[in-house]
Amino acid sequence: MQVLRSLSRGRSLIENPDVADATASRMRKMVLGYRGYPADGLFQGFPTDVTWRCVRLELRDFETMRYINDIGTPHRHWDNLTGGTRRVTDGAKSYERNPPVGLAHIAGVLAALRSGHVLQPMIFAEHADGSLILLEGHSRATAYIMNGQTAGQEAFVGSSPSMPSWVFY
């Protein structure tokens, strides 16, 4: 949302896109350029035919959501936190029992939630089974579960039949 403010544009740039407006399309690409979009970083191997939608998460989304598949990465934070399940609910339980040093910042996110801060929307890829895989917002999702806020959060979800080709699927 900070990028939208820096461009002096509102959410309508993304929520009601004019795909015929080349300038607006370049701006949307700047907004989405976060974390390596469209083909680097978290978006390595990400499908190019993704359809995006804005949603409000429900309890069932939190019950089935997963962290990215970070097994091939140097840190493997999410795989280690969940004992290999990648389920965010398992990560939250594990974090509460024994917060890992590399993920200490989750405590700050949790404190922000508890003091009433509204957090930025998370970004997900939709799995073929309908569950959600976190692209961006791993710490927020963990904190939401730890704080019992498992419904009503705004999120962006990308869907594609090609999603299984994504490196972190």
pLDDT, tens digit (0-9, with 9 covering 90-100), for 38-48: 667 778 889 98
Is the confidence at residue 62, as pLDDT, over 80?
yes
Same domain membership, residue 21 and residue 90? no
Q: Are residues 65 and 10 in the same domain?
A: no
**Residue 138 confidence (pLDDT):** 96
| 16 has a pLDDT exceeding 80 | no
> For residue range 86-99, what is the model confidence (pLDDT) as tens digits?
999 999 999 999 99
Task: State the average pLDDT over residues 44-56.
Answer: 91
The answer to whether residue 131 scores a pLDDT higher than 80 is yes
Indicate if 79 and 133 belong to the same structural domain: yes
3 within some domain: yes
In sequence order, which ranges of the chain are alpha helices (DSSP H)? 2-6, 12-15, 22-32, 59-64, 77-82, 88-97, 105-114, 138-146
pLDDT score at 66: 98
Instruction: Give the largest CA-CA distance in the chain.
Output: 51
